Amino acid sequence: MLRLAPLVIAAFLAIVSPTSAQVPFGEASTVKEGLEIGTSTSEIAITSDFRGADLTVFGALTNADELFLAIGQYDVIVTLEGPRDYATVRRKERVLGIWMNTNSMTFELVPESYSLASTREIDTIDEEPSLNSIGVGINHLALTPTGYIGNAVDLSDFRDAYRRLKLASGLYQRDTSGVRFVSSSLFRASLRLPANIPDGVHTVRAYLFKGRELIHERELPLRVVKTGLEQAITDTAHNRPITYGFLCVMIAVITGWGASLIFRKD
């Protein structure tokens, strides 16, 4: 589990404190609130025994309104979005007693993985149209199909199926209490990285809401990389496909020959 070092918190406080001076209550302020974030690591290494990990995102509100802080009108949503790719969902139906793929739909460039943490239920933080427009939340991600779609019911069914499959695999996750304020303006978010998380450049995003209105957002990159034998196999498969194919054939031949020696009947 990745833990936040006390030294990092102290340094973060030193950076934020000079800019967080408050305007006396009752006087108009021309300085808008800001948001600063950091992560417990900038790179996750996937090894042969990788079983998932926890990512800590810490942040601070700058120039926060003391009155709004006191009455709890600030909310934070933190997301970890994986690399985007096309995703195809297939529908299976029983035809003449056999289960077959009868229909499919492909969505354009959707996140391969998506984790969310928030101070509370996101539908109570902002309204649905606004969440749809910024694409925050599993139910509000833009799932745009490729090609012509004539049946709106089919589109809704395939979208629901896509979300259901991602949640079942653990690649999509949400924790509506995963963001906690550790002081009046400092917060900490915990995001779970599943064991099957895809490698590549992921994006950490933090959204600051004030009175059900998005006022600021920040993002940071997070690299997820394979190491050791896993990386060597991936590099060979992508960069030297002929060598990779030859090695696969050789391994199959050696495995088959070895099995015939072990289990042969004399």
Q: Is residue 1 part of a domain?
A: no
Same domain, 201 and 254: no
pTM reported for the whole predicted model: 0.74
Supply the CATH number for residue 66's domain.
Answer: 2.60.40.3880
Q: What is the pLDDT of residues 2-58, one digit of tens each?
A: 444 444 444 444 444 444 444 444 444 456 888 999 998 889 888 878 888 899 999
Contact in structure between 184 and 63 (CB atoms under 8 Å): no
Same domain, 76 and 119: yes
Contact in structure between 191 and 176 (CB atoms under 8 Å): no
Same domain, 179 and 143: yes
Same domain, 159 and 235: no
Nearest residue to 33 (alpha-carbon basis) of 16, 51, 50, 47: 16
Q: Is residue 96 part of a domain?
A: yes
Same domain, 246 and 142: no
Domain that holds residue 253: 228-266
Q: What is the pLDDT of residues 147-177, one digit of tens each?
A: 767 676 688 889 999 999 999 999 999 999 9
Contact in structure between 122 and 177 (CB atoms under 8 Å): no
Nearest residue to 201 (alpha-carbon basis) of 1, 42, 27: 42
Q: What is the pLDDT of residues 72-118, one digit of tens each?
A: 889 999 999 999 999 999 888 777 777 777 788 899 999 999 999 99
Same domain, 63 and 112: yes
Residue 181 CB-density burial (10 A; 0-12 exposed, 13-18 middle, 19+ buried)? middle
Same domain, 232 and 217: no
Q: Is residue 241 part of a domain?
A: yes
Same domain, 223 and 235: no
Same domain, 146 and 243: no
Same domain, 196 and 265: no
* Res. 228 pLDDT band, cuts 50 70 90: low
Same domain, 255 and 164: no
DSSP string, 65-90: -HHHHHTT-EEEEEEEE--EEEEEEE
Q: Total structural domains in the chain?
A: 2
